[in-house]
Structure 1
Amino acid sequence: MNDITAETPVHSFAPGGRRRHRKAKQSSIGVRRAIVLALALPVTSAALAGPSAFAAEKGIGTTAKDTAAGGTLDADDQQMVANLETRVLDQRLGSEVSGVVLDSESDATLWDHNGATALMPASNTKLATATAALTVLGPNHKFTTRVVYGNGTLTVVGGGDRTLTSADLAELAKTAVAGLKAAGLTSVKVAVDDSLFGEPTLANGWNTGYYPDSVAPVRALVVDGHGVQDTSIDAGQVFAQQLTAAGVTVDGAVTRAEASPGDVPVARHQSAPLSEIVHKMIKVSDNNIAETLLRMTALGAGRPATFEGGTEVVRQVLSVRYGVSLDNFEIHDGSGLSRANRIPAATLAEILELLTESRYSRTLGSILDGLPVSGEAGSTLGPEWGRFDDVNSKCAVGKVHAKTGTLTGAIALSGLTQGKDGKWKVFSFIENNSTANPNDIKDAMDGLAATVNGCWA
């Protein structure tokens, strides 16, 4: 299953240092236009998949021995590399394992073990989804849920807010009831309009067994994160109950219907800023938020609100906006549940390195702040998940900021930690198809992160 836990407080930190020269930052409007233009033009798969100048500049794809032979490693890094070369062969990790370590200050690739090999990344996919959503929509973007009235019907119009609560609906109902009573109306029909998204479909690599526990069918209206087959009708029923409790008679069952342009606006609710929603998604690895954001990102870039539309925009944002290599990169959803997803550790490390650049902190900072911290209760790296609690990795508690990824046959850990030399290191580790106990695999992977930190010397 994928990582799902409870939300925890923000842990802000700001790694940084000497930066490479990237493309000049565009305004959010410019970014959106650039992405729309890029999507409108025919782009060959080879161009999308080819390594960027950034990747070539960093020497991604070189081996640890190649890097060490260049004489660029200090004593601490040499020890770290030597330890990683040994520890990556841990039998618990199996034979399909890859890893990359970058120095965010010097731009050097410190260690690379099959880093260009594309493996199933599980929830590490959310790093790509979050980057695209924040870039296209902007960190201050809010999602709006509306209530309109027409022909004796109150219609709740979904706006892609996956964080909508029953308390939010209660406020909408309160405003609606006041308007009805002012108009002398005591009964009303209730409908829901979730036409912003098409009918829910399964991504390549999903199966119907995912519904509704691992992920609910993706609709534009949901309340309290309910894991039910029809989240829109469910939300409408909650709204209808609140109307009834306020003394308004609801005539008949809740139906699905598109609001008319002539309907009268009655009330609206806006979500928290996207930055807060992304923070939560990363911290607790929320699949439902990820899939909703994928669709809203597609719409924001002028594409259909589908898996295909969303993943196309993710590719464009990573390659066109940030110069991230898409060599061997393949995704089919926003959450990482798809078993057809393939992302190299080198690409995940490139995405994470963006977070260390001050020029991107305003846009992408909520991803950085949302990364679970080793040993942080309530996050996917908390002790309740058995993370960073063995003799080798417990020294790194509180020192590693990383996104987890867990599916049957795939475990990943990608993030940042301050090395023994005081410099921030970016790392990504992925294993597929190990036959060891998943908890043992995670212990081995936590050990690799502790090795990068330098506390397990």
Structure 2
Amino acid sequence: MDEPGKRPSVNPLDKLVGLARRGGTIRLKGLNDRQFTAVSAGLGLVLAAGVVLAAGPWDSGQRKAETDWAAARSGTGGAHHEPAGADTAPSAPPVLAALSAAVDNSAPDARTAPDGAAAALRTALGPLLKDPALGTRPAAVVIDTASGERLYGQGAGAPMTPASTVKIATAVAALSALGPDHRIPTTVRASADFRGVVLVGGGDPTLDKAALRRMATDTARALKERGIDKVRLGYDTSRYSGPARHPIGPNENIAPVSALMTDEGRLDDTDSGPAPRSDDPARDTARTFARFLADAGVATGADPKPGRPATGSRKVAEHRSAPLSSLVERALTNSDNDIAEALARQTALAAGEPADFDGGRRAVTARLRTLHLPLTGANFADGSGLNRKDKVTAGLLAGLLARAADPDHPELRPVLTGLPVAGFSGTLSDRFTGKSAGTGLIRAKTGTLTGVNTLAGTVVDRKGRLLAFAFLASGTTSPSEAQSALDTLATTLGTVR
């Protein structure tokens, strides 16, 4: 089955959180001073994120933890937390070089960096890319995010099926179009005589029952102030258009795409991974809202009916989602298909396109074009990567990550902070474990479909540089062997001198 997922077990960050609570020591072997500084900072972020994630909901989680951690460190030297005169890692320049320069992609990129990194990467990565576990003609690109220099490229311009790594493109487009502070509204509107009420979906897949109950309480209060204790209830999903069902059909990895849903249409108590899904999440949400209205003393009589608010209606209740930055982080960390499809549709709405699969494709493509990224051969058939018609190049994926590191685009930073941490969080919680040199050092988005395995993210090399990478493999026959080969490639980037 495409995009197989796993239910989360024990929080993979517990081992760090518990260690800190017991006063334990984390030892990182085989790292030089520059890498140790970078990795220590990264693990500090992971630990802070773990503490907050253990204490509360996602929207007060990783982003807040990283902000608080950075603020706590501000008294120790500003941007660089090293003793005076230390050999610090390079920071990004004011402007990142354009990533769309023409390159011969028929063979590994022959351009050389001043320190010979390109030659070293050719020597290290070339043999690894010949691993049969990577299928036929795997593609790879490595970019130094500080200079914008492409240090390595094999098949860099070949369009390939990205699986869930396409979520990186979806996230970049949404953040660029709407900004990290954008929140998706869900509202309740009452008719002029307050005898009819409509629950209006804005496209927030993370709307939960607690928020729905608060809206019902606010609605009941407004009605009772006018002496009304019985209403007609409708629900509006017109914000989105086109087919609700993803082309892969009914699937536990994604609910029907609707502007109105609760808990991503999940029928169990999970918040990530595969789960039984509602066939009609909008109707189910409206029915739950009706029950909450009844609990608050307002009856609705008949079953809720689809429909739009009447002319002259007024808003009586509203809930806004977590900021887009948090939604992006959650989508990338957990490879959340429902949020990813919502991000694509929100991008379409911002562009004035219909909020359907085709509108999302056009809007995401147009938005990425404004960032001067290499889009030749790209096709964004959906926002999640479940559709095999999605096509991107390794050059585009690595370029997206480099753009997210660009100081001129701080709005894109949640793309980097949302990447799973190797061996600790999200879809990388059970990879790079044990004695892997990549544990805690690599942050990357995974991608898995039958016969397709991909990995795109960032790693700090032994010179202290932040490298963006993308590895795409197709025609794979063993997911576990392919993932292991990809992990080896990413780990090797951190060890090349």
TM-score, structure 2 as length reference: 0.77
**Relative contact order, higher structure (CA 8 A, sep 6+):** 1
**Aligned amino acid, residue 446 of structure 1:** D
Q: Establish whether residue 364 from structure 1 lines up as the match of residue 412 from structure 2.
A: yes
Q: Establish whether residue 428 from structure 1 lines up as the match of residue 470 from structure 2.
A: yes
Listed as ranges, the gaps of 5+ residues in structure 1 are 23-52
In structure 2, distance between residues paired with 1:61 and 1:348: 15
In structure 1, distance between residues paired with 2:388 and 2:164: 11
Listed as ranges, the matches of 1:32-431 within 5 Å are: 54-56=99-101, 59=103, 61=105, 63-64=107-108, 66-67=110-111, 70=112, 72=113, 74=115, 78-150=119-191, 152-202=195-245, 206-208=247-249, 211-226=250-265, 227-319=277-369, 321-361=370-410, 363-377=411-425, 379-383=426-430, 387-389=431-433, 394-431=436-473
Distance 1:107 1:265, change over 3 A: closer
In structure 2, distance between residues paired with 1:282 and 1:155: 33
Q: What's the Cα RMSD here?
A: 2.3
Offset of residue 275 of structure 1: 1.1
**Aligned amino acid, residue 165 of structure 1:** D
Determine if contact 1:189/1:250 at 8 Å carries over to the other structure.
yes
Offset of residue 390 of structure 1: 6.2
Determine if contact 2:96/2:148 at 8 Å carries over to the other structure.
no
**Aligned amino acid, residue 419 of structure 1:** D
Offset of residue 404 of structure 1: 1.0
In structure 1, distance between residues paired with 2:231 and 2:159: 55
Deviations 1:228-260 (A, max 9, x none): 121111110110111122232220111111111
- The 3-state SS of whatever aligns with 1:145 is strand
Q: 2:43 — aligned with what?
A: none
In structure 2, distance between residues paired with 1:185 and 1:351: 53
- The 3-state SS of whatever aligns with 1:66 is coil
In structure 1, distance between residues paired with 2:91 and 2:377: 28
**Aligned amino acid, residue 190 of structure 1:** L
Offset of residue 192 of structure 1: 0.6
Determine if contact 2:96/2:146 at 8 Å carries over to the other structure.
no
In structure 2, distance between residues paired with 1:402 and 1:131: 15
Offset of residue 74 of structure 1: 3.3
Q: For 2:62, which of 9, 22, 40 is the aligned residue?
A: 9
Determine if contact 1:16/1:358 at 8 Å carries over to the other structure.
no
- The 3-state SS of whatever aligns with 2:453 is strand
- The 3-state SS of whatever aligns with 1:398 is coil
Distance 1:20 1:181, change over 3 A: closer
**Aligned amino acid, residue 393 of structure 2:** P
In structure 2, distance between residues paired with 1:294 and 1:239: 27
- The 3-state SS of whatever aligns with 2:141 is strand
Distance 1:235 1:440, change over 3 A: same
In structure 1, distance between residues paired with 2:377 and 2:354: 24
Count of aligned positions: 409
- The 3-state SS of whatever aligns with 1:232 is helix
In structure 2, distance between residues paired with 1:113 and 1:295: 33
- The 3-state SS of whatever aligns with 1:249 is coil
In structure 2, distance between residues paired with 1:352 and 1:128: 9
Determine if contact 1:158/1:196 at 8 Å carries over to the other structure.
yes
Offset of residue 331 of structure 1: 1.8
Offset of residue 113 of structure 1: 1.4
Offset of residue 181 of structure 1: 2.0
- The 3-state SS of whatever aligns with 1:147 is strand
**Aligned amino acid, residue 316 of structure 2:** V
In structure 2, distance between residues paired with 1:322 and 1:177: 47
Deviations 1:148-193 (A, max 9, x none): 1226222101111111111111111111111222222222222111
- The 3-state SS of whatever aligns with 1:316 is helix
Distance 1:342 1:316, change over 3 A: same
Distance 1:145 1:116, change over 3 A: same
